[in-house]
């Protein structure tokens, strides 16, 4: 690392521990306890360092590959043209355009703002009515996919 280059958080502490270890070894006062103490300190410092770059970047959530299958499997039995949910609310979840058109009461999706999107509010059970209506809630991983898709801009991709 070049002199003056910034180090990841926590590195300064590890460097200080290494410097102390070197002083102990250079004095000749090496005891089992000091070796163990320094070793545990180094192990602890590694555990405290952030690992934000350890994971690969997440792929964008795709409407056609990730979201439409959720709607087909969990929602379209009621929210498709001519079905009970579509008749009651005007919401057609069989197509992207139907979803983005919203209901007769207003929009379902606010691109980029999942917590303001009625779709997310309804599937997370934060309204008087939870969707899917009178069925088990969507599994958390599917709700998270929908939340992420809306957060990413609710694109037709």
Give pLDDT tens digits for 86-120.
999 999 999 999 999 999 999 999 999 999 999 99
Tens digits of residue pLDDT in 2-49: 454 554 555 555 565 566 656 655 665 556 555 555 555 545 544 444
Say how far apart CA 123 and CA 130 lie, in whole Å.
6
Residue 6 included in any domain: no
Task: Give how far Cα 17 sits from Cα of 20, 51, 55, Å.
Answer: 5, 20, 28
Total of domains in the chain: 2
Question: Is residue 27 located within the same domain as residue 90?
Answer: no
Residue 107: the pLDDT is 97
Residue 150 burial (10 A CB sphere; 0-12, 13-18, 19+):
buried
Residue 77: the pLDDT is 95
pLDDT tier at 53, thresholds 50, 70, 90: low
Task: Copy the structure tokens of residue 23.
Answer: 């002083």
Residue 55 included in any domain: no
74, 120, 110, 111: which is closest to 93 by C-alpha? 74
User: Is the predicted pLDDT of residue 122 greater than 80, yes or no?
Assistant: yes
Residue 137 included in any domain: yes
In which domain, by residue range, is 32 found?
Answer: 11-48
Question: Is residue 146 located within the same domain as residue 98?
Answer: yes
Task: Give how far Cα 113 sits from Cα of 37, 89, 152, Å.
Answer: 49, 22, 9
Residue 25: the pLDDT is 57
Residue 154: the pLDDT is 98
């Amino acid at each position: 690392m070049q002199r003056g280059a910034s180090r990841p958080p926590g590195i300064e502490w590890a460097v200080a521990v290494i410097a102390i270890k070197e002083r102990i070894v250079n004095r000749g006062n090496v005891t089992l306890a000091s070796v163990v103490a320094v070793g545990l300190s180094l192990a602890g410092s590694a555990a405290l360092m952030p690992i934000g770059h350890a994971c690969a970047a997440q792929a964008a959530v795709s409407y056609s590959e990730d979201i439409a299958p959720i709607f087909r499997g969990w929602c379209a039995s009621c929210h498709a043209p001519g079905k009970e949910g579509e008749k009651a609310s005007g919401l057609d979840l069989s197509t992207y355009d139907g979803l983005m058109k919203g209901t007769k009461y207003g929009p379902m999706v606010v691109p980029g703002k999942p917590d303001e999107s009625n779709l997310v509010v309804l599937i997370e059970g934060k309204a008087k009515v939870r969707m899917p209506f009178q069925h088990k809630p969507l599994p958390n991983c599917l709700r998270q996919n929908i939340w992420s898709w809306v957060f990413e801009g609710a694109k037709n991709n």
